[in-house]
Amino acid sequence: MRKNFCSLFKKDCQIMLAGKFFFVALGSLILYTLFINFGYIHYMNAELYNVYLYDPQGTQQEVSDLIHPVASLEELDAALSADTNGVGIDASSGTPAVVLYHGSEKTDNHSADYGLSLLHQGNVHTTQIVGTNTPELKQRKEMCSELLFIEIIAVGFLGIASVLFKEKQMGVIRVHGILPFKKSLFITSKLTVFLVSDLIFAALMALFNIGFHEAAGILPDILVQTGILSLVMALTGFGCTMLLNDFRQFSLAYVVIVIFASAPIFLSANTSVKMAWIDWHPFYHVYMGLKNACFGMPVTNPVYYICSACGIVILFLIVRAAFHREMGKEG
C-alpha cells in the first residue's frame, strides 16, 4: 500500500510541476507579501478624516497635532469643498460648531465626534487595551488570515481542478479502475499533495507577513486551521471535477462557490454587517478559526473539530462515489 501511495504521490507531484501550479502559488505568495508589507499597513495608517479648525480668537488651547488650522471661514469652506470627507470646526463664536458635507446620519455623527475629540490632547476617556498586538501587527495578522483564506478557497480549489481535468481528459482515471490498488489512495494522494502545498504556503505567508518571532508561537494553530480548510476545499474541488463535464462548467461553479463562500464571511467577520444565518455557514467558522489562530486564540471547542472531521469524511465518501462513477464512464 505504501509503495502504491508513493507511486501515486510522485506522479501527482510531476503533474503539478508540469502544470506550473507551484509558480501560481509562488506568485500569489510574493504578491500578497508585497501588498501587506508595502501597501496595506501604510494605507491603514492614514488618518480617518482631516479636521480643519477656524479659531480666530484662540479659544481652543489643547488641540491635537492632527488638526489643520485655517485662517478664515472662506479658507474653511475651500478646504471642505476640496476634501468632502473632511470635518470643519468653526470656533469663531467661542463654542466649537461642526461643519461638514452631509453623508449619512451615522457617518456624520462619527465624523463630528472624531473632529471634536481632536480639540483635546491626550485621552479624555480611559481605554482598556486588549491583547498585546501593536496596531501594525494587528493589521498584518488580519490581512494575512484573509489572504490565506482567499488563497486556499480560490487558488487551491482551482489547482486541484486543473490537475484532475487534465487526467480526466487524458482518460487515465479509467485506467486506474483496473490497477491493483485501493482506489481511495488515488484521492488520498491528491489531497496530500494539495495539503502539503497549502501548509507550506500558510507557513511562509505567516513567517513573511507576521514576522518570524511572532509567527513561531502561533504557527501550529494556523497550520491546523489551514489543514481543515485545505482538505475541505480540495475535496470540494475534486468532487466538482468528477461531476462536471469541463473546465467551463467548473469555472461557473467556482465563481458561485467563491462568491458564496467568501463574500458573506468577510462582510460578517470584518464589518458591522451581521447576517442572522451566518452561524450556519460552515466556512464562517473555519475562517474565524483561522483568524483567531493568527491572533493566538485557537479554537478549543471540540464540537468544531468533530464537525470539521465529520464534514471531511462525508465529502470524502461523496468524492469516492463520484470517482468510481467517473472510472466506469464511456471513453
Which residues contact other proteins (rule: CB under 8 A)? Answer: 3-4, 7, 11, 14-15, 18, 167, 170-172, 174-175, 177-182, 324, 327-328, 330-331
**Residue for cell digits 474565524?**
288
Strands 97-99 and 87-90: antiparallel
- CB of residue 131 vs other proteins: minimum separation in angstroms? 49
CB nearer to other proteins: pick between 141 and 168 = 168
Give dist(CA 152, CA 156) in Å, integer: 5
Give the residue with the Cβ less far from other proteins, 3 or 106. Answer: 3
User: Which of 183/281 has CB closer to other proteins?
Assistant: 183
DSSP notation for 110-139? HHHHHHHHTTS-S-SS--PPPSS--HHHHH
- Smallest gap, in angstroms, from Cβ of residue 169 to other proteins? 9
Question: Considering the complex, what minimum distance in angstroms separates the CB of residue 15 from other proteins?
Answer: 7
In the complex, the smallest distance separating the C-beta of residue 236 from other proteins, rounded to whole angstroms, is 25
Cell of 259: 462568491
Crossing angle for the helix pair 184-210 and 21-35, to the nearest 10 degrees? 20
Residue closer to other proteins by CB (options 76, 185) is 185
DSSP-derived letter for residue 84 is T
Q: 54: part of which helix (H) or strand (E)?
A: strand 51-54
And the C-alpha cell for 114? 472624531
98 has which bridge partners? 89
Hey, how many other C-beta atoms are within 10 angstroms of the C-beta on 176? 16
| Comparison of 120 and 182: residue with beta carbon closer to other proteins | 182
Identity of the residue, 9 or 305, whose beta carbon is nearer to other proteins in the bound complex: 9
**Residue with Cβ nearer other proteins (3 or 102):** 3
Closer residue to other proteins in complex, CB, 19/227: 19
Provide, rounded to whole angstroms, the least separation between the CB of residue 165 and other proteins. Answer: 13
Pairing of β 67-70 and β 97-99: unpaired
Question: What 3-state DSSP class applies to 88?
Answer: strand
Maximum CA extent, the chain: 92
Contact 238, 195 (CB under 8 A): no
Residues in the chain: 331
Residue closer to other proteins by CB (options 9, 35) is 9
CA distance 230 to 148: 10
319 class by beta-carbon count within 10 Å (0-12 exposed, 13-18 middle, 19+ buried): buried
Tell me how far, at minimum, the Cβ of 297 lies from other proteins, in Å. 45
**Minimum CB–partner distance for residue 327 and other proteins (Å):** 6
CA distance 306 to 14: 34
- For the CB of residue 241, give the shortest distance to other proteins in the complex, in Å: 17
Cα 325 to the center of its chain, rounded Å: 35
Closest approach of Cβ 316 to other proteins, in Å? 19
Which SS3 state, helix, strand or coil, does residue 303 take? Answer: helix
